[in-house]
Structure 1
């Protein structure tokens, strides 16, 4: 099964990241970066044992292991777009995000530390 999302154009990613880092992101920037970094994660950690959710923008299934087909997956990670982007770029450590309650992770393999940062 091929990845659902595709990484964005590098120039678009750079421009959106610059606006986010300047504190002036809009919904389009958050959507582009969220989907871009989820696509990168999907490529680097293919699988179906963990569902990573960044509402309202996207969700992907990643990391090898038990595949689920219906209902709640065995492992779920959920966060907001700003936190996801900070994790993906290395501006925020997984442990800090989790301890601050900015990431909710449950189930086996729900710790994304081995896969972060992404870009």
Structure 2
């Protein structure tokens, strides 16, 4: 059974801190990351892409071959702030700093998580 972490307040709090040029609280940032990863897993079910936001969490999503051991064939990895900004549409895929490997390592079809994908700054 998949456990979805519903804490949109954490996302709002992190974004408010970023807007104020302040460092988000680590615990709140973790809750925001996990909440948004859970939303992505629901929006893009599957096991084709592993999304990593160390040290907070990782999920598998999107269609493709299921990964069980070793290094997955399609990986997207980024820091927590980048993930929150990407997932909320505050940062575009093309401008974000992250690592991606594999032919399916592209989250653009599902981002941002609220509403339709857009062309963010």
Unpaired runs of 5+ residues, structure 2, are: 115-121
Change (3 A) 1:16 1:82: closer
Q: Which structure has more helix as a fraction of its residues?
A: 1
Alpha-carbon offset, residue 96 of structure 1: 1.1
Distance 2:4 2:59 in 1: 12
Match of 2:99 among 63, 80, 104: 104
Unpaired runs of 5+ residues, structure 1, are: none
Aligned to 1:65: 64
Alpha-carbon offset, residue 109 of structure 1: 1.3
Q: TM-score, normalising length from structure 2? A: 0.84
Aligned to 1:7: 5
Alpha-carbon offset, residue 12 of structure 1: 4.1
Alpha-carbon offset, residue 62 of structure 1: 0.4
Aligned to 2:47: 48
Aligned to 1:21: 19
Structure 1, residues 14-51: CA drift from partner, whole Å, max 9, x if none? 33432343233110121011101100000000111110
User: Is this contact kept in 2: 1:54–1:78, CA < 8 A?
Assistant: yes
User: Is this contact kept in 2: 1:20–1:29, CA < 8 A?
Assistant: no
Tell me the matched-pair count: 113
Q: Which structure has more strand as a fraction of its residues?
A: 1
Q: TM-score, normalising length from structure 1? A: 0.86
